[in-house]
Amino acid sequence: MEARKYEIENYIGDWHWNEQSHALAFEMGTFLYSFMDYLQESNLAAATIQKHVNNTWCIGYLTCHYGYYDTFSPDIFSSPPFYEIEFKRKISDTPYALRSYISSCNKLAKYVREKGWETLPEYDFEMPDDMEDLYIGLELLETRALRGGKKEVISFQGTIDTLRENFVRNLRDVNSREEFIERMQCCYDTLQTLTHRLEAMDTSGNYFRTKIRSSLLEDVVEMQRDIAIVLMNV
């Protein structure tokens, strides 16, 4: 028991800065250790488990520093992804790292649900399990669009912002199946608008413009396909 306590103290060393934050960090670290024990007992490949273990430290670190919680409850890990903007800024902004991090966030949220620690909302509606692909797709789409914009080739940031507003922020406040479908349809329509803009884009034979347009079109079509799948299963 003392060995585990010492191990957790070392694990959370960068998570706290005073007595109150230490108490929160230790409680959170203890909980996340139980999650990592759960991963070790799963049938996942060793490399996959290690990936989740590494990301779990990031989840704890970011939650302690950016969550502004006074007390700890497992329920704070029930609505993934957690602090993805801070992850990109503080840890890594590569698509692969973000994809891996979001996967671990979803795995942790599933653990919270399975153990019955989730505080259920007042309404009877649960987000579909296959939303992860859409969150990842949006991040990749935004990354690619921003890369093109920085090179002054294209700029779709307004459309991307609209998509993010409807898809990420607003979806967290959905309180019925009908409202979820309505907002997902709005996301689909926004993607359709982006498709039309891309198809009308003048590449003028420029290789880079042509490549960016082609890549973005592929991303948009993939996201529309994923939205259609989600709507079929909701």
Q: How far is CA 182 from the centre of its chain?
A: 22
CATH code of 122-234, in short, is 1.20.120
- Of 107, 108, 144, residue with least CA distance to 223: 144
Q: Please count the other Cβ atoms lying within 10 Å of the Cβ belonging to residue 203.
A: 15
Q: pTM above the 0.85 mark?
A: no
List the domain boundaries for the chain. 1-120, 122-234
Which residue would you say has higher pLDDT here, 47 or 124? 47
pLDDT tens-place string over residues 62-105: 999 988 788 898 989 988 888 888 899 899 988 889 989 999 99
What does the pLDDT average to over 153-173? 59
Number of H helices, E strands in the chain: 9, 0
Confidence of residue 179 (pLDDT cuts 50, 70, 90): confident
**Residue 149: pLDDT over 60:** no
Q: Please count the other Cβ atoms lying within 10 Å of the Cβ belonging to residue 169.
A: 9
Report the distance separating Cα 4 and Cα 165, nearest Å: 43
**Residue 170: pLDDT over 80:** no
Which residue would you say has higher pLDDT here, 26 or 232? 26
Q: What percent of the chain has pLDDT over 70?
A: 73
In what helix (H) or strand (E) does residue 164 lie, and over which residues does it extend? Answer: helix 157-164
